[in-house]
Amino acid sequence: QQQVKQSPQSLIVQKGGISIINCAYENTAFDYFPWYQQFPGKGPALLIAIRPDVSEKKEGRFTISFNKSAKQFSLHIMDSQPGDSATYFCAATLNEKLTFGTGTRLTIIP
Amino acid sequence: NAGVMQNPRHLVRRRGQEARLRCSPMKGHSHVYWYRQLPEEGLKFMVYLQKENIIDESGMPKERFSAEFPKEGPSILRIQQVVRGDSAAYFCASSQDRNTEAFFGQGTRLTVV
């Protein structure tokens, strides 16, 4: 059972554009929604996170939008740069346990 | 302050051998989590441990897999009688307390030949 669904699987965005990755969850008991960035051969690194009582959180070029009624949340990367090329995972937490989406491979082209 | 340290980074085992994966949490962290990542997939939760206690092992296969986090020393994920399907990247994460950020190590890539 896929509790956190992520799309798209891969994404190509031009430098300076906006990258948007979407996730949907099923379990309304999830209480924390982080996004992780992973480079090849490395472990996931926390990028930004949100709690379900907030509809939006912005940190620099990264914004999470959260829609509790639709059980959806998304990551927006503004002014995307080649250094943002990586795999991005959404996740949801319950009882300290992270449930990950399947990942989005983002490529930023010049 | 060193991050989460995992070793070895790469491990090759023949079918039927044992694999031992080690994880040293960040200094001051007493919560450890193990996740498995298959190629082109997200990470899947395996087990959550605190010092000397297994808190949640709902993601651990019922046979051949075990984990421990002793009072002294690193956390160990042990896979007995490995099979080809065990080939994956195994990540460890640690956190200071419940409901605080978990930091991931760089993973151990296990290849079963």
Nearest by CB to residue B107, choosing from A32, A43, A97, is: A43
Where does residue B52 fall: left (phi above 0), alpha (psi -120 to 50 degrees), or beta otherwise? left
DSSP string, B34-70: EEEE-TTS-EEEEEEEETTEEEE-TTS-SSSEEEE--
pLDDT score for A71: 96
Which residue is listed with tokens 């982080």? A34
pLDDT score for B90: 98
How far does CA B62 lie from the centroid of its chain?
A: 16
Range 51-80 of A in CB contact (< 8 A) with B: none
Q: Is B34 on the interface with A (CB under 8 A)?
A: no
> What pLDDT, in 10s, does the model give residues A34-80?
999 999 989 999 999 999 999 999 999 999 999 999 999 999 999 99
Cis preceding linkage at A52, omega within 30: no
Main-chain dihedrals φ then ψ at residue A84, nearest 5 degrees: -80, -10
* Residue A9: partners with Cβ closer than 8 Å, 6 or more residues away: A102, A103, A104, A105
Q: Is pLDDT of A84 > 70? A: yes
Question: Alpha-carbon torsion B88, B94, B95, B98, what sign?
Answer: positive
